[in-house]
Structure 1
Amino acid sequence: MNPNRQLLLALLLGVFSFSAFSQVKIGDSPSSIDAYSILELESKSLAFVMTRMSTAEMNALRPLEGALVYNTTEKCIFLYKGATWSSLCEAGVKVTTATTAPAVAQSKSGDFWINTTTTRAVTNIFNGTSWMAINANPKSGAGDPNTKTGLNPIAGDIYVDENAAAIYIYNGTSWANNTAATTVTAGNGLSMSPTNVIEFGGSLTKPTVLPTTSTNTLAITGLSAPTAADNHDFVVVDRTTGVLNKVAAIDVLREEEVVLIASNGQVQFSPPKPVNSKRQIDVYRNGVRIEFSVVNTTTIELEPEASCYAGDKIRIVQVY
């Protein structure tokens, strides 16, 4: 029998069956239908073709929820649920390889688009609103990033200038060229060896202070022994500023003496220099060392038992 006549006969039988049993079977075995089916299509030589329309035609419809159409633009079946059409071909993540981005209306979060417009394909991901390159940080391009738009950086983003092989870091306001920072120099007491090792031994280029505490002290070990007493200087510290100074050994300790002729009963005398400590002075009467006390910075006084007679020689030796 002609297939078209056979299909027409099946439709007529289906109508009668629907009238009697509220079920319709179209195609092969029209008398056999599952008890839970309201409509069954069965054929080994004919296909079921649902409504066909473009994306624009489909989006103009507001059918009952559950409606199905074949979208001839997307070449896929779409299901109407809620208030939108959803593709049944893209239940998972969609990956598109093309020179142009897929339409935003037909994309969902997590979809991938591989942009093949450049010699190096760039992979993008849809964030729910727009397509964003997954290599957004670090960013790269030809030329200074400060001259480019659309980078949308945040503080800490990195950009590589492919032309100059320069690295930029976004500081929150602008792109700063960080390439120069990789060149290390040494100064202010440090020097750099030919193998780029930083070492002590450079010239001081500014006043330098090394703060110390009772715990964090400063020590120098390994000093060589002097070869001659008169060939060395002393390092002294300025009591007010803490600055180190060099002083000749001969100038570190000076000795000066004065010989005075005493009057009868005299006990007070003036040393050659102002007195800061009793340890700076030795006093001799007629060649014999005697005890004394410091009255003030300009006066010393002999012990009571050492009261002088007229003509006694008082020699005062002072170290300063």
Structure 2
Amino acid sequence: MKKKLFFYLILVSATIPAFSQVKIGDNPSSIHLNSILELESSDKVLVISRMNNTQMNAIHPLEGALVFNTDENCVFMFDNTSWKSLCGEGVNVTTSSTAPTHNNLGDFWINNTKNNAFSLWDGTNWIAIDNNPRRGNGAPTNTTAPNPTAGDIYADSTTGLIYAYNGSAWIATNSNLSANNGLLIDSNNTIQLGGLLIQPTTIETNGTNTLAITGLENGDSATNDVVTIDKTSGVLKKTSVSNLLREDVTKIIAANGQVTFTDLTLHATDKINVYRNGVRVDFTINNPHSITLEPAATCYAGDEIRIIQLY
């Protein structure tokens, strides 16, 4: 028996190198020129090694090795570094209420319980590709708009309201607006200047950021007031044009030889004119209550001195 087995092994060893091609199954004499092994059958299949994840990951075979993973129900190929799934290498589109597992880069998931929200598998996580604006029925919640970041937008499909996330809360941006303190909302829901001031209001300017009003109509000094500014508070006030330039006329009957006049109230030093009997004369201001006429204007008894001040 041992002699027969030895003879058979020698025969096989001599035969295989001679033919170098093997055909198994139907038509064993017909094999393609470039095939080293061919399987042909209409009712039988090739079954490769079957392993679970633990068994498969425990071995390090030759590059290109194949195995059927019984945990994943998929054929895996070894690329000399790790096992790669050969299932679903194309883009898969899954419609379900829960995220699919065993995904490939570029797969799509349509969540049919959240307004058909679209997500893309980036190799690690599902990324919502319609994240802005997010959509849902009702105001945003941790369920309909999880993990928001500042600037995210959410649309309520029920009411049409638009929400913006400010970093801590969702704010409805097109809800009923209100305006006051010099602002109003017109019929087009647009905020405009105008309306009652309800509190003291300050507009601060500087040499660069100035305040200007252009296009003003020409005014009438007889009927219009003038805007003034309080030197201390900066508060705007109004006054009549006549109050901007006042005239104070003081009449004095001089004594003989008089040139100095006292007990006056001088409002300014550069807007004073003095007249002796209707003729303008020069003078000197001694202090806020006294003036002295020029020597050539020495008065006689009964001369009329008129002191006119503009202020």
Q: TM-score range by the shorter chain?
A: 0.7 to 0.9
Q: Which whole-Å CA distance do the structure 2 matches of 1:123 and 1:100 have between them?
A: 12
2:121 matched residue in structure 1: 126
Alpha carbons of structure 1 residues 21 and 132: separation in structure 2 relative to 1, 3 Å = same
1:112 pairs with 108, 116, 130, which one? 108
In the TM superposition, what are the counterparts of 1:70-219 in structure 2 within 5 Å? 70-71=68-69, 76-103=74-101, 106-116=102-112, 118=113, 120-145=115-140, 147-148=142-143, 151-162=146-157, 165-172=160-167, 174-179=168-173, 183-196=176-189, 200-205=193-198, 206-209=200-203, 211=205, 217-219=212-214
Q: Which whole-Å CA distance do the structure 1 matches of 2:126 and 2:295 have between them?
A: 105
The total of aligned residue pairs comes to: 297
Q: Which whole-Å CA distance do the structure 1 matches of 2:123 and 2:217 have between them?
A: 70
In the TM superposition, what are the counterparts of 1:1-320 in structure 2 within 5 Å? 15=12, 18-21=15-18, 23-27=20-24, 28-30=27-29, 34=33, 39-41=36-38, 43=40, 45=42, 47-51=44-48, 53=50, 55-56=52-53, 59=56, 62=59, 64-65=61-62, 66-71=64-69, 76-103=74-101, 106-116=102-112, 118=113, 120-145=115-140, 147-148=142-143, 151-162=146-157, 165-172=160-167, 174-179=168-173, 183-196=176-189, 200-205=193-198, 206-209=200-203, 211=205, 217-219=212-214, 221-223=216-218, 225=220, 229=222, 233-248=225-240, 251-270=243-262, 272-279=264-271, 281-320=272-311
The answer to whether the 8 A contact 2:103-2:121 is kept is yes
Please tell me the residue identity of whatever aligns with 1:156. G
Structure with the higher fraction of residues in helix conformation? 1
Alpha carbons of structure 1 residues 240 and 299: separation in structure 2 relative to 1, 3 Å = farther
Q: Which whole-Å CA distance do the structure 2 matches of 1:43 and 1:146 have between them?
A: 60
Q: Which whole-Å CA distance do the structure 2 matches of 1:270 and 1:32 have between them?
A: 140
Alpha carbons of structure 1 residues 202 and 78: separation in structure 2 relative to 1, 3 Å = same
Q: Which whole-Å CA distance do the structure 1 matches of 2:23 and 2:268 have between them?
A: 127
Q: Which whole-Å CA distance do the structure 2 matches of 1:56 and 1:185 have between them?
A: 63
Deviation for aligned residue 1:70: 3.9
Q: What TM-score do the two structures reach when normalised by structure 2?
A: 0.72
Unaligned stretches of 5+ in structure 2? Answer: 1-8
Q: Which whole-Å CA distance do the structure 2 matches of 1:31 and 1:166 have between them?
A: 73
Please tell me the residue identity of whatever aligns with 1:177. I
Q: What TM-score do the two structures reach when normalised by structure 1?
A: 0.71
The answer to whether the 8 A contact 2:248-2:308 is kept is yes
Q: Which whole-Å CA distance do the structure 2 matches of 1:122 and 1:200 have between them?
A: 42
Q: Which whole-Å CA distance do the structure 2 matches of 1:138 and 1:212 have between them?
A: 41
Kindly provide the CA deviation profile for residues 194-229 of structure 1, in whole angstroms up to 9, marking residues without a partner as x: 444655542233334474869864345224647xx4
The answer to whether the 8 A contact 1:273-1:318 is kept is no
How much identity, in percent, do the aligned residues show? 38
1:5 matched residue in structure 2: none
Kindly provide the CA deviation profile for residues 156-180 of structure 1, in whole angstroms up to 9, marking residues without a partner as x: 22233455644332223x2231335
